[in-house]
Copies of this chain bind each other. A is one copy, B any other.
Amino acid sequence: MQMDERKQKILKAIVQDYIATAEPVGSRTISKKFELGVSPATIRNEMADLEELGFIEQPHTSAGRVPSDLGYRYYVENLMDPFDLDEERKRMINQELAKRLDEIQEVIEYTGKLVSQITNLTSLVLKPQTRECTLKKLYFLPYEDGKAIMVTVKDNGMVENSIVDIGTDTTPEELQILANIYNEKLSGSKASDLKKGLLNELYRELARKRRIIDGMLTILERMFDQKSGDNTERVYLDGTLNMLNQPEFKDINKVKTLFSIFEENRKLQELLAPKDKGEGLNITIGSENPDLAFKDCSIISATYNINGKQIGTIGVLGPTRMDYRKAISIVDYMTKSLTDMLTNRYRNQKT
């Protein structure tokens, strides 16, 4: 059995109607609402076929049909009309983003906020991956006895500070030396390569100051240990409460499992991690999802870049019965817009 044009039309009608109403859709409804020029009986026959093909299913015998994950997949790939945001909204988005462009963290989080507001779904944003960035500059500032403020500048323009233990016997001058070595010799290393590189470099350069160096290494080592725990905050969520408005989450237990996962940053990261393909939009529907807890959810995501380098992901999560047209167009537009803006803004910081 093959998909012919009429079957496609019917599947499309089912998906659209179900997305709109959240109720199983029957043959009568279709023949009335969508003008296919055939009677309910005919549609019933076609629906039986569609069910056999696995595109739709019946919650129970006397109910209408509901799209299966496969049905959504087919709809998304073959049937969905393209959908463009209206210019008004595009302008609004660009304007709001531009306002916040100076603070990279803020503009990215705000993007998530916009996505969830516009879609009425939950937005997920994977923020720039600290580990993948290279460190451009390293400074030390005095803090108090035995401690110093370490300020790091990443190549994507992010600035972070942390307090490091230096012991009471390290002088500001020694710190200065460490920073200078770093800034002159190692600027641009990957954070993950840093330890090794710095070790070698330091031993070579300053073999005579071994004692100091040993101390420094401990500091840096500890710092990177600390900073790898930084992963915890990498996914930014917004609009989680929107899920409560979806009829599929009227059951408190579903809410509980879903929200529990929301608190597990690691799982969310896996979910958003750029797939092999990397480029373009990623759509994961229902049980295509690795985690069982998301078997009734779909995720649309896309990566954004700075200077052609993927640095994060924007996604939107909703019930499988979500408005794919809208969600996709928004995620698509948002990532492109963000990419453009960030690239323009941080163009001069190419490494």
Contacts and interface: CB of A to CB of B under 8 A. Distances in A.
A103 interface: yes
B151 A348 contact: no
Given A149-B151, A252-B250, A143 B163 contact: no
A163 B241 CA distance: 32
Copy tally for this chain in the complex stands at 2
Interface string A127-151: 0000000000101011111010101
Contacts of A144: 157, 348-349
A271 interface: no
B149 A153 contact: yes
B244 A255 contact: yes
Interface in A142-191: 142-145, 147, 149, 151, 153, 157, 159-161, 163, 165
Contacts of A160: 161
A172 to B, nearest CB: 13
B163 A161 contact: no
Contacts of A137: 141-142
A149 to B, nearest CB: 5
Interface stretch (A57-65, A256-264, A307-315): A256-264
